[in-house]
């Protein structure tokens, strides 16, 4: 009763003043905010009306440690009380960012040891594109400036990152950045593109290890080994976007660790702080760092006010420490196996479920009117399941870009077997109700 009243008060203000990201103007005007959240604990979120929901996607694939960890609030408070802000420009530094950079180097594969910090994934990818182009310019090859990305990729919404995003709806804006090209996710298509465009015009290729927003898509067999070779042969930098995969989401430190190669540049965000503070980064190899050092005398004129923000750094450090201490990274693989069992149960129980995939605590499956012939429903089915799930106490994620009809899952690493089972049982009921 009180909750409903409070919702209505807030909804009025929200409708008038809050320009939401990735939201329909019309729907917002007509209906106001969907859920107004007030609390979070573990895998649960609670809204202003007092109803609890399982957060099956760790919100935006980012609250990996789970909600409500007071220790992270304490780390933030301690840092702010001691040193709220100091600049990292012109070589200045502070303790938390130094320790965080060292921790990231310890976790990252190969000689990826040198991190530039940002406030999120889009900034990290923009930083990588600028760094790649800068590198080739400094090597006296300014024509190497094209950035190649894959279809169904998602790299963010800044001007550069949306230009690199393969999912068409995100690119439907006039005049995004020039010199971005998309290629189908096969090695043959990439070879053809390099042939057609000319390696001397290409700065870098960017790819997520396991695509997230595009539908939780695993790469083709041997894709990254072959891609690494192609990049080496053609003097093209390989950028790997670890914004969702990074920091244990796929059961290894980084997504690319599943595929046995080391990229030249790796972009990170989300899981580094489990969403408790906005921070991301770009990690480069020692080799690239040394080359950049040798090649340039001037200043690298790229930096955000909040590059290496003290509170964000302190929170990220504490987050990584807790995940290790509590072995939540190991729980990712254990609970990933439970998630897969759940998907298989759903497939056996309901017809029309297929293309199951799971790696760590990242998973998805697709709906078909007829699974055998892979015929889709006339209208996507996944959004109907999402609507039912909401009634049943779970926030679910449908992916319907480019003709897909997918339900995606990426629950917090602290999830228990019972909570996985509860999640699957809600999906089970919601599929039945949506039919």
Judged by CB under 6 A, which stretch of 207-215, 217-225, 370-378, 385-393 contacts ligand PLP? 207-215
The residue from 208, 226, 257, 419 that contacts ligand PLP (CB under 6 A) is 208
Rule CB under 6 A: say whether 244 interacts with ligand PLP: yes
CA distance 94 to 254: 26
User: Measured on CA atoms in the order 308, 310, 313, 317, is the torsion positive or negative?
Assistant: positive
CB of 124 to ligand PLP, least distance (A): 7
CB of 157 to ligand PLP, least distance (A): 6
CB of 206 to ligand PLP, least distance (A): 9
User: Measured on CA atoms in the order 21, 25, 31, 32, is the torsion positive or negative?
Assistant: positive
Residue nearest to ligand PLP (CB): 121
User: Measured on CA atoms in the order 307, 102, 61, 205, is the torsion positive or negative?
Assistant: positive
Question: What tokens appear for 119 in the block?
Answer: 């406030």
CB of 279 to ligand PLP, least distance (A): 9
Q: Which is nearer to ligand PLP, 48 or 407 (CB)?
A: 407
SS3 407: strand
- Interaction residues for ligand PLP, span 21-80 (CB under 6 A): 60
Q: Which is nearer to ligand PLP, 127 or 430 (CB)?
A: 127
CB of 165 to ligand PLP, least distance (A): 8
Instruction: Determine contact, residues 134/150, Cβ cutoff 8 Å.
Output: no
The residue from 55, 126, 226, 241 that contacts ligand PLP (CB under 6 A) is 241
- What spatial distance separates the first Cα and last Cα of the chain, rounded to whole Å? 32
Q: Which is nearer to ligand PLP, 121 or 363 (CB)?
A: 121
CB of 55 to ligand PLP, least distance (A): 15
Q: What is the DSSP string of 101-170?
A: HHHHHHHSSTTEEEEEEESSHHHHHHHHHHHHHHHHHHTT-TT--EEEEETT----SSHHHHHH--SGGG
CB of 190 to ligand PLP, least distance (A): 19
- Interaction residues for ligand PLP, span 118-157 (CB under 6 A): 120-122, 125, 154-156
Rule CB under 6 A: say whether 219 interacts with ligand PLP: no
Rule CB under 6 A: say whether 363 interacts with ligand PLP: no
The number of CA neighbours under 13 Å toward the Cβ of 172 is: 5
Whose CA is closest to 54, among 71, 30, 73, 35? Answer: 35
Q: Which is nearer to ligand PLP, 170 or 367 (CB)?
A: 170
Judged by CB under 6 A, which stretch of 78-86, 117-125, 293-301, 427-435 contacts ligand PLP? 117-125
Q: What is the DSSP letter of 277?
A: S
**39 pairs with which residues across the strands?**
46
Q: What is the DSSP string of 156-184?
A: -SSHHHHHH--SGGGG-STT--SSEEEE-
Which residues are at the interface with ligand PLP (CB under 6 A)? Answer: 60, 120-122, 125, 154-156, 208, 212-213, 241, 243-244, 269, 280
């Amino acid at each position: 009763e009180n909750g409903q009243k409070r919702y209505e008060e807030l909804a009025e203000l929200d409708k008038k003043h809050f320009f939401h990201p990735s939201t329909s103007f019309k729907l917002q005007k007509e209906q106001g905010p969907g859920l107004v959240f007030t609390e979070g604990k573990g895998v649960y979120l609670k809204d202003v009306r007092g109803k609890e929901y399982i957060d099956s996607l760790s919100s935006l694939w980012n609250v990996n440690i789970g909600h409500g960890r007071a220790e992270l609030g304490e780390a933030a408070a301690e840092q702010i009380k001691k040193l709220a802000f100091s600049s990292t420009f012109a070589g200045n530094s502070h303790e938390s960012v130094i320790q965080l950079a060292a921790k990231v180097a310890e976790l990252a594969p190969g000689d990826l040891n040198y991190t530039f910090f940002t406030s999120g994934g889009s900034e990290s990818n923009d930083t990588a594109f600028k760094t790649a182009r800068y590198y080739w310019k400094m090597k006296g090859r300014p024509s190497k400036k094209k950035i190649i990305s894959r279809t169904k990729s998602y790299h963010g919404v800044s001007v550069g990152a949306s230009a690199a995003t393969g999912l068409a709806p995100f690119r439907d804006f006039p005049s995004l950045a020039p010199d971005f090209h998309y290629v189908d996710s096969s090695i043959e298509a990439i070879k053809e593109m390099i042939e057609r465009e000319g390696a001397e015009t290409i700065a870098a290729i960017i790819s997520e290890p396991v695509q997230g927003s595009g539908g939780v898509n695993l790469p083709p067999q041997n894709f990254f080994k072959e891609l690494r070779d192609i990049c080496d042969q053609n003097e093209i930098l390989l950028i790997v976007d670890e914004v969702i995969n990074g920091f244990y989401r796929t059961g290894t430190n980084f997504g690319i660790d599943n595929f046995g190669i080391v990229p030249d540049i790796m972009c990170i965000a989300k899981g580094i702080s489990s969403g408790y503070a906005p921070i991301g980064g770009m990690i480069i190899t020692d080799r690239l760092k040394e080359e950049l050092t040798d090649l340039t005398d001037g200043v690298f004129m790229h930096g955000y006010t909040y590059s290496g923000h003290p509170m964000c750094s302190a929170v990220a450090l504490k987050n990584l420490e807790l995940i290790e201490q509590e072995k939540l990274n190991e729980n990712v693989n254990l609970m990933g196996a439970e998630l897969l069992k759940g998907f298989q149960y759903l497939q056996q129980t309901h017809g029309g479920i297929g293309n199951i995939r799971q790696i760590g605590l990242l998973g998805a499956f697709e709906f078909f009117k007829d699974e055998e012939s892979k015929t889709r429903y006339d209208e996507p089915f996944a959004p109907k399941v999402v609507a039912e799930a909401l009634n049943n106490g779970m926030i679910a994620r449908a992916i319907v870009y480019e003709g897909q009809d997918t339900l995606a899952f990426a629950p917090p690493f602290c999830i228990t077997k019972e909570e996985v089972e509860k999640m699957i049982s809600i999906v089970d009921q919601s599929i039945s109700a949506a039919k």
